[in-house]
Amino acid sequence: NSLRDDVPDLINFADIDCLVQEDDDPAAAEAPSVVRTSPDAEIVAARSYDLSITYDKYFQTPRIWLFGYSENGVPLLPEEIFEDILTDYAAKTVTVDPHPCTGIPTASIHPCRHASVMKKVVDSWVESGVRPRHDLALLILLKFVSSVIPTIEYDFTMDVDMLIHRSTKNEK
């Protein structure tokens, strides 16, 4: 088996929480960083990203676009953006295409499996007796993005229970 085969494919998606690598996991990807020399030796360089979401008419689902900047605000080249994406996902899921609004080559998480992932989550809720909530759709999609790009951090102010493959039903 190649390393590429070891990466979970969206078609086999079961639980989004199992895709997210925790900070204390020794196998977790580390955020790329550059440490400056004195007098700012304690400051770690950080990249930032503009994340935009468009609607993909062909796949009839949201499409997530990532445009990155260096610590100095200089736009990143596509190769530099791929440094922040898990290598195996970069080969399977992330492509560089012209952004539909700007025309600028931008990295995007390909939407071919987004709808099936979202359907699995909703089906799990229904099977567990939980009424699906449309207001959580964006949070679920962003949680998936954080599994592909572990260096991106979100402030999740609420816990979203995915309820996938539970053996018992919750009473709510």
pLDDT in tens, 17-61: 554 445 554 444 555 555 455 556 666 678 888 889 999 999 888
Q: List, in order, residues 6 or more apart from 154 with CB less than 8 Å away.
A: 142, 143, 146
Work out the pLDDT band at 6, boundaries 50, 70, 90: low
Q: How many helices (H) and strands (E) does the chain have?
A: 6, 4
The verdict on residue 169 lying in a domain is no
**Which residues, including other chains, have CB under 8 Å from residue 89's CB and lie 6 or more apart?**
7, 148
Domain range for 137? 3-148
From residue 14, alpha-carbon distances to 41, 117, 165 in Å are 43, 8, 7
pLDDT at 30: 55
pLDDT of residue 48: 86
41 found inside a domain: yes
Is 167 part of any domain?
no
170 found inside a domain: no
pLDDT (tens digit per residue) in 69-112: 999 999 999 888 888 888 777 767 888 899 999 999 999 888 88
Helix (H) / strand (E) containing 56? strand 48-56
DSSP codes, 121-161: HHHHHHHTTPPP-GGGHHHHHHHHHHHH-TT------S---
- Residue 78 included in any domain: yes
User: Would 157 be classed as within a structural domain?
Assistant: no
Answer yes or no: is 135 within a domain. yes
Number of domains composing the chain:
1
Over residues 101-159, the pLDDT tens digits come to 999 999 988 888 777 777 887 888 889 898 888 787 787 777 777 777 777 766 656 56
Amino acid occupying residue 120:
K
Q: Name the active-site residue from 7, 14, 112, 142.
A: 112
Torsion from C-alpha of 61, 142, 6, 113, nearest 10 degrees = -10
Torsion over CA: 135, 140, 143, 145 (sign): negative
How far is C-alpha 12 from the chain's CA centre? Answer: 16
* pLDDT given for residue 99 in this prediction: 95
Q: Is residue 159 in some structural domain? A: no
117 close to 144: Cβ distance less than 8 angstroms: yes
| Amino acid 27: pLDDT | 47
- Torsions phi, psi of 130, nearest 5? -100, 130
Q: Which two tokens stand for residue 103?
A: 């025309």
Annotated catalytic residue 18: no
